[in-house]
Structure 1
Amino acid sequence: MDIRLRGLVDDDLDRLFTWEQDPAAVALAAFTRSDPSDRAAFDEHYARIRSDPSCTVLAVEHAGTFVATVGSFTMDGEREVTYWVDPDRWGRGIASAALTAFLEVERERPLVARVAAHNVGSATVLRRAGFVEVGRETSYAPGVGADVEEQVFRLAG
């Protein structure tokens, strides 16, 4: 797949904000902001992570078009990966290709990934990239306003 990773730029934020408001995407991701339509919270979040040297956030281009983000951050002493794909482009292998490319950039291991247990697509992406499920937890998910079972994956190595 013809994908390229690059730095996230200001011009990407309007599209990303739109994607992160998609009701189906929020329901699948679950662990999002409690109000996906709150632009100030969105802008604050991205300003914070883009200025934090311990966070990596990259744009993903497919055939020259911005289609996703992929990144990593440290939480509770563990390095975690995250990604978000334009909902109009789900099911085309973009998340798998982006994560595979990102794993060449993010060399720290082990890596952790968390996904709502009902998000079968994201769990499949992680397994294809070599992540193994190591547990399940139930946590409050602000995006859906309820407790959600979460699968925890790890990539050793």
Structure 2
Amino acid sequence: MTNKNITLPKTEKDDLNAFFLFQLDQEANHLAAFTAKDPNDKVAYIEKYSRFLTDPTINMRTIKVNDVIVGSIAKFVIENDAGITYWIDRKFWGQGIATTALKDFLNIEKSRPIYGHVAFDNYGSQKVLENCGFVKIGKDKGFANARQTEIEEYIYRLSD
């Protein structure tokens, strides 16, 4: 990790093209589970996330390693609760990038408590949340577009 320069610049509209390509990966989509109904619809993807860029309740950052876009991370608000979401391009999995990016992001984004929801079998993402101080506080069920079925998800919270 010491030779990797991880930065979190504010997301720009041009970054969305890379994000779109990342979420086309079927294995990544399966693990993320709660994804777009049609991940292949680039127009809908770009329109949706372009709106997020100007939403004052959303803090959207691009994860770069040595100036190369490798993922995204954002704080959003649903039902008055702050939530966290992140996505790392699969070819960069297992390198500690998500954990480092989330720790850095949590120094920028001060909303607390902040929640993370993760599919029951997405062990990598569960580990990232736990490594960043999130605590598993419950379970829920939801329809996972990427799997076309209802699955269990774990709810994590970071209080401070």
Alignment of 1:31-50 (within 5 A): 31-50=34-53
- 1:77-111 CA distance string (max 9 Å, x none): 11001100011111111100100000001101111
Alignment of 1:53-92 (within 5 A): 53-92=56-95
CA distance in 2, matches of 1:94, 1:101: 10
Amino acid at match of 1:102: F
CA distance in 1, matches of 2:45, 2:25: 14
Please name the residue that 2:143 is paired with: 140
**TM-score of the aligned structures, taking structure 1 as reference length:** 0.97
Q: What's the Cα RMSD here?
A: 0.9
**Alignment partner of 1:96 is 2:86:** no
Please name the residue that 1:128 is paired with: 131
SS in 1 for 2:76: strand
For this pair of structures, how many residues does the alignment match?
157
Please name the residue that 2:24 is paired with: 21
Q: What runs of 5+ residues in structure 1 fail to find an aligned partner?
A: none
Q: 2:155 aligns with which of 145, 152, 155?
A: 152
Amino acid at match of 1:141: A
Please name the residue that 1:109 is paired with: 112
SS in 2 for 1:73: strand
Instruction: Extract structure 1 runs of 4+ deviating beyond 3 A.
Output: none
**TM-score of the aligned structures, taking structure 2 as reference length:** 0.95
Instruction: Give the percent of matched residue pairs that are identical in Structure 1 and Structure 2.
Output: 36
- 1:12-62 CA distance string (max 9 Å, x none): 222111101100011000001011101121012111211211111100111
